[in-house]
Every structure is written in structure tokens, then in C-alpha cells.
Amino acid sequence: MASYVVRRLLSLIPVLLVVSIVVFLLIHLIPGDPAAVMLGAQATPEQLAQLQEKMGLNEPLASQFYHWIVHVLQGDMGQSLVSDKDVNTLISERMPATIALTVYALVISLILAIPLGIISAVKQNTVWDYSSMVVALVGISVPNFWAALLLIIVFSLHLGWFPSTGYVALLDNIWLHLKHLTLPALSLGFIQAGVVTRMTRSSMLDVLRQDYIRTIRAKGGTSWHVIFRHGLKNAMIPIITIVGLNFGLLLGGTVVVETIFSIPGIGSLVVNSVFNRDYPVIQGVILYIALIYVLINLVVDLLYAYFDPKIDYSKG
């Protein structure tokens, strides 16, 4: 297992290198000049050329990438072209809000999806099954921005249960932190719950039809013991896979929701950076998200061995 983890961590190097190259090239294809955006329409050609030289924008792309990647390998993501703040500092200030929202949304999706998926599989072709699938279909079909606005209208404007905008850090006040994140987490988690519900149902149905499940039942195993001890555990592999993918989707899909709820997270930072052509910030954020995503995939692979002891990474 240890050797497998080491190999996977080493494999992150070429993955992140490819990601950095693609991101760098795509970012520099965005129309517009950061120097022109910063100086405004009244800037003279001399002022524009001077700022471009100061920011290194007049160098060839290959030279710009070389200087950037050398600093990245040293842990230096560079400086923001707009605020002149360190990119690592900007990301570290915004990342906790996005991570908290993502984790909260993922927990909500699992709380909704796992029970619904199990009930749907156990009560196949009944009103319980059809009702669960309708909920899952609605979750998959509803756009997160529409769900966010609907939740604000119902639970904030009419009922007054939750604040409609703003953010409170976890260490400042846990209760207010959860209240501010509940509506945005619901708008994200409900959609992901639909996907996980369908996967849970499909996986559980496949497991519950196996011969060993019928044997356990024939030996007098109680229904819930069979479902949770033998059924759910053996059905977890595809569920874990989709949950891992959903975490990455949630992490990268908070832009609209953070904007609607005025959450100072990575999403709003990226939006502002794109408008301002702040290349270092955009590149830094995407690299951080890519790193988190591949680490989550590593954790998912390790969880496979826990839920399925037949998986042996020492031979891989």
C-alpha cells in the first residue's frame, strides 16, 4: 500500500505539469490585455508599453511560461497583476470558504442520496421506488442557480430561517457559519444527490441479486443486517467513485452559487480575475483545484481497498 501511494504521488508531477501547460496556454488566449484593463482607455501607448514590460507581458509565451513554472516549482505562484498581492495569500484567504461549502454540500447530498437509493432498491417497482427516482430526476434536472434563487425566496425572504447572503468563518461562529452555508450547500447538494441516488439504487440492486445475499437470507439473516452489513458495503465501490467525481465537480462548480450568495470563495476570486485578466491568480487557482482533485482520486482509490479486501495494490 505504501509503495502504491508513493507511486501515485510521483505520478502527480507529470499530471500537474500537463495541467499547468494547458492552463497557461488557454489563459493567454483570452482576448484582452491586462495592462490595458488596468490602465483604462485613457492610457497612452508609452504607458501601456511600460506596464507591459514591467509585468513581463512583452516577452514570448515560452519565456513567460518558463519564468512562471520555475517559480511555481519553488512554491511561488507569483503576484496578482491587479492587487499586487501574493497569489498564495489570495488563495489561502478564499479557499476555506469554498472547501467548507463543498464539504457541506457533499454531506447534504450523501444524507439525501444514500437512504433514498437504498429504499428505492429494496422497494423496487413500488411507490417508494418511483418517488425516489422522481426526486433524483428533479435533482439532476434543476440548474443550481435556479435552485439557489428558489431557496432564497422560500427560506430567506418568506420564512426568514436563513440569511440570503454573506459568510461567517467557522472559527468566528459555528452556528452562523452553518446558517450562512445551508442554502448554498442545499442548492449544490440537491443536484449531486440526484446522481448519487441513481448510482446507489443501481449498485444496490446489482448486489442484492447476488447468490451470496440469497444464501445469507436463507440462513436467517435479518433484512436490515443483510442490507447494510453485506449489501451496502459491497455496493460502495461505484458509489465512492461517483462521490469522488462529485467532490471535484462541486469544487469547480461553486462559481455561480458563491456569486449569488456573496460568499468570498475561490469562485468569486476566479470571476474577478477573469474580468481583470489577472493571469497569475487564474493559473494558481486552477492548479490548486487540480491538485486537490487528484488527491481526492487517490483517497478514493485507497477506500476501494477498505470496502473490497480483494483489491491488492501491492501487486500493481
What does DSSP assign to residue 79?
Answer: B
With cut-offs at 50, 70 and 90, classify the pLDDT of residue 188.
Answer: confident
Predicted local confidence at residue 309, as pLDDT: 58
Closest-CA residue to 231 (of 214, 250, 249): 214
Q: How many CB atoms lie within 10 A of CB 165?
A: 13
Distance between CA atoms of 105 and 195, rounded to whole angstroms? 13
Q: How far apart are CA 235 and CA 195, in angstroms?
A: 15
pTM for the full model? 0.75
Helix (H) or strand (E) run with residue 309 in it:
none
pLDDT (tens digit per residue) in 105-144: 888 888 888 888 888 887 878 888 788 888 787 777 777 7
- Residue corresponding to grid cell 452489513: 229
Average pLDDT of the chain, as a whole number: 77
The proportion of the chain whose per-residue pLDDT surpasses 70, expressed as a percent, equals 79
Separation CA 110–CA 107 (nearest Å): 5
Give the closest residue to 80 by CA, choosing from 252, 219, 269: 269
CB atoms within 10 A of CB 78: 18
3-state secondary structure 210-245: CHHHHHHHHCCCCHHHHHHHHHHHHHHHHHHHHHHH
Question: Given this model, what pLDDT does residue 315 score?
Answer: 55
80 with 280: CB under 8 angstroms?
Answer: yes
Alpha carbons 297 and 202: distance in angstroms, whole number: 22
Cβ(278)–Cβ(266) under 8 Å? no
pLDDT of res. 56? 66
